[in-house]
Amino acid sequence: MGLRQSDRLRATKTHLTMVFSYCLMRLWIVAVLSFATLLSRAQTPDQIITQLREVNNKVTSAPCNSGEGMLISNKAMNIFLSNKISSYLSDGTDLSLYKNYVNLNASEGRLSISHNFHQPVDSDDYVRGFIVISARVNVANTYAARFSNKYFNNQLGFTLQKTWMGKPVTRYNSCGTQKQAMDAKRAILLHSLETELKRKAADYELALDAVNQTEIPGQDIGTAKNTLRRDFYAALRAEYFRKFSEAQSDLLVETDNYSLITDNWTTFGVYLSVIPQKFQVSTEPNTTITQRHNYPAEVFLSHTRFFESPKVGRVFFTLSGKGFINNAVQSGALYQADVSGPTTINNETDVIAVNKGNRFIGSYRNFFTPVVAGKLVYIPGNSHVGVSFRMEKNFGSYHALNSIIGVPIVLIDRRGVPAINFECQLLLSDMGNSTITNQLPGNKTSVGLTVGIPFSKIVY
């Protein structure tokens, strides 16, 4: 009996060893094939042209009878959307498909510098999602306080946000002139690029053939030429895939051969401060001053629907919610003092005047504020000026109803790509007069300006 059990154990071990060896062999074969594919990718102009034609065939063969489908490749649509969507960049949470962008909010004195960590995939695919990290600092209030001896609103923090992109949808007159025109123009474009690519590859091969052993001493000339050739065609492939995508996007912009393009995205993020806000607070002008502080933190979620029409223009519609650590100073529950003379700080007499609005009078506390908001942005077709409206409702201890009426202005570069975005704003605070009841309505209306600058390359 013991012998049969030993045989079974030995057979089981043998079987497991064979299974393990088989798995290792499969992994090795996959790795070798993947490496061989990587080395052999785009080693000749014909291979690059074949891959370009495959991308084009995927667009051409898309059914048109539904009036909805592909007019350009996925990567070309990434470029198209990056320019359309980046025409509105008013806040750090607005979407940008550029690797880097900067936002300045003059009314809040806030500067945000953001970096998109998306890495493009090799296949022809639309952008599905990415992570953005932003550094947020308060600059205008701090510098103004330096010269006016007023209250400092120091803020330094970082935002981490994740965005999930929907699949773009293109609508056109089903199987009509728009689809046919784009297929024909894309075919001409592809053949033009093929001719240019072959000529560039032929010129390079002539130059490579002219290289002799004496010009590269200490190297095997065959190995050196193979390395140069591999690197050249890899770069050539990337260059012409980019050219094909950019040219398709330009065709769609120039011809307007579509009825409507829609997309959507959802963003979730958190903001954490590094430097606390500090306040000098006393319950009455002549009572003891205490130092209070707050670490601003925020969590937010938003969903945006985007519509682009050659006739109507661009529409952004956003619903969002957030919650943040608020305080009595920011919510307007306290009043700035203008008190001179000796002041008692922590039971000690300070003969230096605490003056010029540095002190806040009232009962200070930190609290959590939930917010829901909606925003609608409209930019007419081929226009550089639009209109926006945003309304937010706060809940809890600070329950003000605020709104912003804006005029977004888009400045483009010589290629017609958005280079900088301005938004002139009229800010209406506490419209229901529910929080700061002793102020006149005119004191709750102010003007603001935001600046958004996308730069570097797009996420593609």
Sign of CA dihedral 61, 64, 68, 71: positive
Residues 430 and 322 placed together within one structural domain of the fold: yes
Closest CA to 108 of 425, 387, 430: 425
Residues 295 and 427 placed together within one structural domain of the fold: yes
CA gap 76, 427 in Å, rounded: 38
Residues 295 and 396 placed together within one structural domain of the fold: yes
pLDDT at 53: 95
Q: Which CA distances in Å does 446 have to 331, 429, 441, 442?
A: 16, 8, 11, 8
CATH number, domain containing residue 400: 2.40.160.40
pLDDT at 282: 84
Write out the DSSP string of 248-311: HHHHHHHH---SEEEEEEEEEEEEEEEE-EEEEEESSTTSPBEEEEE--EEEEEEEEEEEEETT
pLDDT at 455: 85
Q: How many domains does the chain have?
A: 3
Residues 32 and 65 placed together within one structural domain of the fold: no
Domain range for 231 is 45-70+174-257
Residues 262 and 239 placed together within one structural domain of the fold: no
CA gap 295, 278 in Å, rounded: 9
Residues 13 and 116 placed together within one structural domain of the fold: no
Residues 133 and 204 placed together within one structural domain of the fold: no
pTM (2 d.p.): 0.80
All residues at 6 or more sequence positions from 187 whose CB lies less than 8 Å from its CB, including other chains: 56, 60
243-273 pLDDT, tens digit per residue, is 999 999 999 999 999 999 999 999 999 999 9
Percentage of residues in the chain having pLDDT higher than 90:
48
Per-residue pLDDT, averaged over 226-233, amounts to 93
15-60 pLDDT, tens digit per residue, is 545 544 544 554 444 444 444 444 444 468 999 999 999 999 999 9
Residues 52 and 29 placed together within one structural domain of the fold: no
pLDDT at 175: 81
Residues 440 and 305 placed together within one structural domain of the fold: yes
